[in-house]
Amino acid sequence: MNWRREEPEAARALVKEIARLVEGPLRLMEVCGTHTVSIFRAGIRAMMPPELELISGPGCPVCVTPTGEIDRAVELARRPEVVLLTFGDLMRVPGSRGSLAQARAEGADVRVILSPLDAVAVAEGEPRKKVVFFAVGFETTSPAIAWAVKEARRRALENFYLLPCQRLIPPAIRALLSAGRTGVDGFILPGHVSVIIGRAPYLFIAREFGLPGVITGFEPLDILEGILMLLRQKREGRAAIEIQYRRAVKEEGNPLALGLMEEVFRPADARWRGLGSIPSSGLLLRDGFSEMDAVQAFDLPYEEVKDPLGCLCGEILQGLKRPPDCPLFGRGCTPEAPIGPCMVSSEGTCAAYYKYGGVST
Amino acid sequence: MTDKVLLAHGAGGRMTHQLIRELFLPALGNEVLEALEDSAVLDLQGGRLAFTTDSYVVKPLFFPGGDIGRLALCGTVNDLAMMGARPLGISASFILEEGFPLEDLEKVLRSMEQAAEEAGVKVVSGDTKVVERGAAQGLYITTAGVGLVPEGIEIRGSGARPGDLVIVSGPLGDHEVAVLVARGDFSLEGEVRSDCAPLNGLVEAMVSASREIHALRDPTRGGLATTLWEIARASGVGVLLKEESIPIREEVRGVCDLLGYDPYYLASEGRLLAFVPEGEAEGVLKAMRDHPLGRGAMVVGRAVEEPPGKVLLRTKIGGHRVLEPLSGEQFPRIC
Amino acid sequence: MCLGIPGKVVSKGGDFAEVDFGGVKRQVSLLFCPEAEVGDYVLVHVGFAIQRLEEEDALQTLKLLQELGEQYLELEEGGA
């Protein structure tokens, strides 16, 4: 199967149609960081008509790990008996006293893993260490993390702990829209989160807020098609949740994965960088698994770190302001010395604006 | 800048450059060093000497397609070749960890000799030191190399000019992927072999076809993107690339997909990038394709006047993307 | 955080399968896709298959493009 969808003629036809359908300024938000990277690598922004703006939403590794969370992970990693395991995405996210990469440089045992399968293997292989899995991810990843928790119990691994930092997408979107005003006209919805949760959890976007959403894949043509489907809805005055990524997303999602997730985790309020606390937007271990909860086992208090003064990331993430509106943009906040998540994340809205704003392509 | 060395400082990207600019150059700086070319070219009465040094700390020591010995020899020869120099002699200094198996040392040395034969060069000087168990992770090799730059040849990283075509000698990223897979951290099984090879023969063939090659560089640490950015900056030109022309093996793409890596930042150790005036390109390309190490040579872009110092990629679907230099280490991503 | 790559199931053993991604192979858990068989394509995220993939979508995109092609034809005829 040739699964890559990047034929230039098809792309040209889609872009032409997109340009034809755009009637006035329009702002579409791609929620998931993976879409941000795919859009960037395919060079899609440069192909969009000037009235169409693609905004990066909060679904990225930087946004879901507030400074306080990184600080807590770094603190744990520094303990000599601890091995901290994490996905690579978190290594460079800044904390108040450095990132996990910096902690590693200073001697902390921080290891990058590719899969919860590795987390269990490391715990089994290092019985004299306390192995803490700093677990980040959305609904796509949480079922696999749930497996790790249950498997650690099945293998009676008493040295396995979870530092949960997982987030949920629909509550975050609800929070963005419930702020009262919104600068977003439609959503490019995360294809792989939807493989797990299906279509129903997004219906409120259309029904309660009258906005369209299209569950989109990650190949260049997928994204162009998803944008086209959103524009068609706009043109036709409709607001519905549609599936562009039909080859992977089923209406009901993946019930097996959902079931395991629900067995191991419960929703809880959670903090997002730049957005503050969002109700029921995170996952914590259910009581039956609490002995593996690193926060309890290591007695780790959470120290709130205030978002930097003047930083407008919160409003930029909601689509209400743009990078040049922020007093810090380019003045103290740059990709080399970023302050808020929109600049920390290498393809965040501010970082992208900074890097590509001045180059005519 | 941080107050401690980070792994990112060794990745070949922005942080490496920052370390060089802010620490090494202020201390050691001079005209020759500050040009930051692959080799220094020194005037001898009646000729120009190319002189380079390098260190090799690769882990694991052995990988499909090569090992630290082959890598050390080829890397040093290539630094000379990128200035158009004919290698005259290599020196190699070995830092050995106590307990390192002599059998492995022998394998490394024989491999180095094999590479030297391929390059037509000799290892003419050496040194050995042993450090306690725990230091050096087995073996580190530091090299130096000298070569002669023929008269009339002016090849340097700052030599690219608007209108030049950018040529790549073959598929990119094989080396780094081979090493990653061999390291075993990711439990991947693959058939990718390092492309590690001495390029002086290929360069000689290219120079025979044209004495107007403007710039050569091998895309090692930091990959295609970082190397082109270095040349673009040093030369004051922009570079426009066509994504569909850039050769990358399917398995290399597969590993990149799995790890979330961007293939344009992966190191090759047996490939080169050339900036060649348009009128000379056909001849050079033919000479490359006639050589065993240049069979996969492709024109991947051109140098332009604006915007200087920037590398732009026209993507497969017809979009545009700026290729920034590598910022720190590339970490595998799940996002 | 949603990198998902399609791969082909090469062999199966219990909860696990060997999956081929364009020449690179890896062990993948079939816990969430137990129905996947050798020869099937699965979408893999962090070492777990999360969906069996259907080929039919390729046809949808083609349909869409044909549609677009027809629209242009109409536009041209209408405007001429």
Residue A150 lies in a domain: yes
CB contact under 8 A, B188 and C26: yes
Together in a domain, A142 and A250:
yes
Which domain range does residue A141 map to? 27-299
ipTM at complex level: 0.93
Q: Is C13 helix (H, G, I), strand (E, B) or coil?
A: strand
Tokens for A254? Answer: 């993946």
CB contact under 8 A, A147 and C29: yes
- Tell me which chain C residues have a C-beta less than 8 angstroms from the C-beta of B251: 22-24
Could you tell me if residue A98 is left (phi over 0), alpha (psi between -120 and 50 degrees) or otherwise beta?
left
Ordered structural domains, chain B, with CATH:
35-149 (3.30.1330.10), 165-322 (3.90.650.10)
Instruction: Please identify which residue in the block is written with the tokens 């090493």.
Output: B179
pLDDT digits (tens, 9 = 90+) for A40-78: 999 999 999 999 999 888 898 888 888 999 999 999 999
Say what percent of chain A tops pLDDT 90.
72
d(CA A79, CA A106): 12
pLDDT for C22 equals 86
Distance set, CA A72 to CA A65, A111, B267, C11 (Å): 11, 16, 35, 42
Q: Which of A299, A332, A347 is the last residue of a domain?
A: A299
Q: What is the mean pLDDT of chain B?
A: 93
Helix (H) and strand (E) counts in chain A: 15, 11
d(CA C4, CA B321): 23
Count of structural domains, chain A: 2
Together in a domain, A92 and A138:
yes
**DSSP structure class, residue A290:** G
pLDDT for A49 equals 96
Together in a domain, A257 and A345:
no
Together in a domain, A112 and A245:
yes
Q: Is A52 helix (H, G, I), strand (E, B) or coil?
A: strand
Question: Best mutation site among C2, C53, C54, C68 for testing chain A: the one with the most A CBs within 10 Å?
Answer: C2
CB contact under 8 A, B316 and A141: no
Together in a domain, A267 and A347:
no
Together in a domain, A177 and A44:
yes
Together in a domain, A53 and A129:
yes
B220 alpha carbon, distance to own chain's centre: 3
d(CA A269, CA A302): 14
CATH of the domain at A47: 3.40.50.11740
Q: What is the mean pLDDT of chain A?
A: 92
pLDDT digits (tens, 9 = 90+) for A194-218: 999 999 999 999 999 999 999 999 9
User: Number of residue pairs across A and C with CB atoms under 8 Å?
Assistant: 121
Residue A13 lies in a domain: no
CB contact under 8 A, B189 and C45: no
pLDDT digits (tens, 9 = 90+) for B184-222: 888 888 889 999 999 999 999 999 999 999 999 999 999
DSSP class per residue in B43-69 = EETTEEEEEEEEEE--SSSEETTEEHH
d(CA B138, CA B117): 25
Q: In chain A, which residue's Cα lies nearest the Cα of C39?
A: A1
Together in a domain, A224 and A93:
yes
Residue A357 pLDDT level (bands cut at 50, 70, 90): low
Task: For chain C, 80 residues long, give each residue's pLDDT as a single digit of tens.
Answer: 789 999 999 999 999 999 999 889 999 999 999 999 999 999 999 999 999 997 665 556 566 767 776 655 554 444 33
pLDDT for C57 equals 58
Q: Is the pLDDT of residue B132 over 80?
A: yes
Together in a domain, A248 and A319:
no
A277 alpha carbon, distance to own chain's centre: 15
pLDDT for C56 equals 60
Residue A1 lies in a domain: no
pLDDT digits (tens, 9 = 90+) for A92-144: 888 888 899 999 999 999 999 999 999 999 999 999 999 999 999 999 999 99
pLDDT for C76 equals 46
Residue A123 lies in a domain: yes
CB contact under 8 A, A1 and C55: yes
Sheet holding B139-149, edge to edge: B40-44, B47-56, B139-149, B86-97, B123-131
Together in a domain, A223 and A339:
no
Say what percent of chain B tops pLDDT 70.
100
Ordered structural domains, chain C, with CATH:
5-79 (2.30.30.140)
Q: In chain A, which residue's Cα lies nearest the Cα of B335?
A: A34
Q: In chain B, which residue's Cα lies nearest the Cα of C23?
A: B251
Residue A84 pLDDT level (bands cut at 50, 70, 90): very high
Residue A19 lies in a domain: no
d(CA B325, CA B230): 8
Residue A168 lies in a domain: yes
pLDDT for A358 equals 42
- Tell me which chain A residues have a C-beta less than 8 angstroms from the C-beta of C45: 140-141, 144, 192
Together in a domain, A244 and A321:
no
For chain A, how big is the Rg over CA atoms in Å?
21
Residue A64 lies in a domain: yes
Give the residue-averaged pLDDT of B149-172: 96
pLDDT digits (tens, 9 = 90+) for B262-300: 999 999 999 999 999 999 999 999 999 999 999 999 999
Q: Is A263 helix (H, G, I), strand (E, B) or coil?
A: helix
Question: Best mutation site among B256, B257, B261, B333 for testing chain C: the one with the most C CBs within 10 Å?
Answer: B257
**DSSP structure class, residue B24:** I
Name the β-bridge partners of B311.
B239
A280 alpha carbon, distance to own chain's centre: 16
